Amino acid sequence: GAVVSQHPSWVICKSGTSVKIECRSLDFQATTMFWYRQFPKQSLMLMATSNEGSKATYEQGVEKDKFLINHASLTLSTLTVTSAHPEDSSFYICSASHSGRALYEQFFGPGTRLTVL
Amino acid sequence: DQQVKQNSPSLSVQEGRISILNCDYTNSMFDYFLWYKKYPAEGPTFLISISSIKDKNEDGRFTVFLNKSAKHLSLHIVPSQPGDSAVYFCAASAGANSKLTFGKGITLSVRP
């Protein structure tokens, strides 16, 4: 149990286009989902926390208008990178917490590699 | 300011020997610590955790030690196996409703 999927696993897009990444909890309900990005040889940096049915909470320095997060159901959250630029190229990872469990009990998706040309 | 530090970027050990991965933290509010294992192009998978009320937690070949006074924890893997070769992240939380803060990770290579 506690499987989290991401789609797509990798994507290449042109500069200026928008890309949507989906994160799904396959066998549990996730009240809270998290979005991270990881640069090579760097830590996982939390971008935002999303709670089902409410607006996401963004970390300092993360542009909410650029990284749109929607958490419309207990099993699906989406991250849309709008007007992507080469500096947005990164590995994006989502995680999910069971409803009613501690937020540190996170189950991670396999990640999405975004390359912006 | 990095609150969770993994100062050694890499570690290489012989198969069968002990691997010791270190992690230091600066935030005294952290009360729960986790270790994750990550392969390239995959998400992290949970390995083992420890609450601040304990100083040791063991699960099979994996043991985590916590030294609160030194703000230091370590992950011991005994015996190390080639399949343990991966990046290991230390993470910390300041309570059940707090986010995770990750270190930069350490790349472990276990030589056959």
Strand B10-14 and strand B62-67: the pairing is unpaired
Picking from B69, B26, B67, B66, the residue whose alpha carbon sits closest to that of residue B50 is B66
Confidence of residue B2 (pLDDT cuts 50, 70, 90): confident
Residue A114 near residue A47, CB atoms below 8 Å: no
Q: What does the block give as tokens for A41?
A: 């040889």
Helices and strands per DSSP (H, E), number in chain A: 0, 11
Tell me the nearest-neighbour CA distance from B64 into chain A, angstroms: 17
CB contact under 8 A, A108 and B34: no
Q: Are strands B10-14 and B106-111 parallel, antiparallel or unpaired?
A: parallel
Query: Residues, chain A, total?
Result: 117
- Burial category of B75 from C-beta neighbours within 10 Å (exposed 0-12, middle 13-18, buried 19 and up): buried
Distance from CA of B31 to the nearest CA of A (A): 11
Distance CA B102, CA B34 (A): 9
Residues in chain A within 8 Å Cβ distance of B98: 103-104
Of B43, B99, B101, the CB nearest to A108: B43
Considering only CB atoms, which residues of chain B are within 8 Å of chain A? 2, 4, 9, 32, 34, 36, 41-46, 49, 89, 91, 93, 96-105
Does any CB of chain B come closer than 8 Å to the CB of residue A103?
Answer: yes
Above 70 in pLDDT, residue A1? no
pLDDT in tens, B60-96: 999 999 999 999 999 999 999 999 999 999 999 998 8
- CA distances A82 to A14, A54, B13, B24, B106, Å, are 11, 20, 44, 36, 32
Q: Does A50 touch chain B (CB under 8 A)?
A: no
Lowest average pLDDT, out of A4-8, A16-20, A48-52, B22-26, goes to A48-52
Highest mean predicted confidence (pLDDT) among A64-73, B2-11, B19-28: B19-28
At B112 the pLDDT is 92
- pLDDT above 90 covers a percentage of chain A that reads 74
Whether A34 and A104 have beta carbons less than 8 Å apart is answered as no
Task: Give A56-114 pLDDT, tens digit per residue.
Answer: 999 999 999 999 999 888 999 999 999 999 999 999 999 999 877 888 889 999 999 99
Which of the 8 DSSP states describes residue A110?
Answer: -
